[in-house]
Amino acid sequence: MLCRIADASPFYKVGHMRLRALVLALGVSAFVQFSVVGAETIKYVFDGTASGTLGSQTFSNVDLNESAVTDTASVPANGEQINFAPMPFTIDIGGVGSTTVSTGLLSLFHNASFQFVAAGWKTSSSEIDVIEINNPAFLTYDMTTSIGPITETGSDPFIGNWQNMSTSGGNLTVTSWDNVSFTATLGSGTGGSNAVPLPSAAWLSLIGLPLAAIAARRRSAV
């Protein structure tokens, strides 16, 4: 009886190590799939009626739409303030066309206590609002879900900061931007993919093969 137990122990060890390798492989696979599938595109839009100039063109009381697209995995951690890194913004101006704000000039800011979401200049030492929307909904908003449109009635109090903004269509100056709304749209229809695709079977096999090799090496060593 004692000999049979002693002889069985190596097989138990091999089976135990194979099980551990399998559990580890499944755990890595599940983690990769969860983390990748969890990232969705999200589009932020500020929209209102504006007047101003773009290069040599003048516009008056037309729709001005300012938007940026990112993904939920890139949204900074939620807290008292959420400050995005500078990102590319696209501005569509009714009757004039579309222009792109140079990367690094504009960013998004969120402050829960003061209940606002804003877009503006961001430098190494300061943040300067260009447009700000105030609403109690922003007290608990984490910038990762759909919301809006939420409208700020009246004129933009930071309109003086819209002077000679560098864009692909020339310098942009906005002299008024009224009744501006903020909307966030998650997933499809944002100008990006709805969700980052699952990793391919071939990619996952790169994880599984080394684990299988480890298990085989342990079997041969027992």
**DSSP assignment string, 99-162:** EEEPTTSEEEEEETTTTEEEEEEE-SS-EEEEEEEE-GGGGS--SSS-EEEEEEEEE-TTGGG-
Q: What residue has token string 């998004």?
A: 108
Rounded to whole angstroms, what are the CA distances from 220 to 19, 190, 212? Answer: 16, 53, 12
Nearest by Cα to 47 from 169, 149, 166, 165: 149
Of 182, 99, 88, whose CA–CA distance to 137 is shortest?
182
**Is residue 4 very low, low, confident or very high in pLDDT (cuts 50, 70, 90)?**
very low
Spatial contact of 151 and 49, defined as CB atoms under 8 Å apart: no
Question: What are the tokens at 104?
Answer: 């690094």
Distance CA 135, CA 182 (A): 10
Is the pLDDT reported for residue 213 higher than 90? no
Contact assessment for residue 108 and residue 119, using Cβ atoms and an 8 Å cutoff: yes
pLDDT at 97: 95
Using 50, 70 and 90 to split pLDDT, how confident is the model at 11?
A: very low
Give the H/E segment covering residue 5. Answer: helix 2-37
- The answer to whether residue 89 scores a pLDDT higher than 50 is yes
The residue among 26 and 183 whose pLDDT is bigger is 183
How buried is 207 (Cβ within 10 angstroms: 0-12 exposed, 13-18 middle, 19+ buried)? Answer: middle
| Tens-digit pLDDT profile for residues 119-167 | 988 776 777 888 999 999 999 999 999 999 999 888 888 888 889 888 9
Residues 95 and 57: beta-carbon distance below 8 Å: no
- For 19-57, the pLDDT digits (tens) are 455 445 545 444 444 444 568 999 999 999 999 999 999
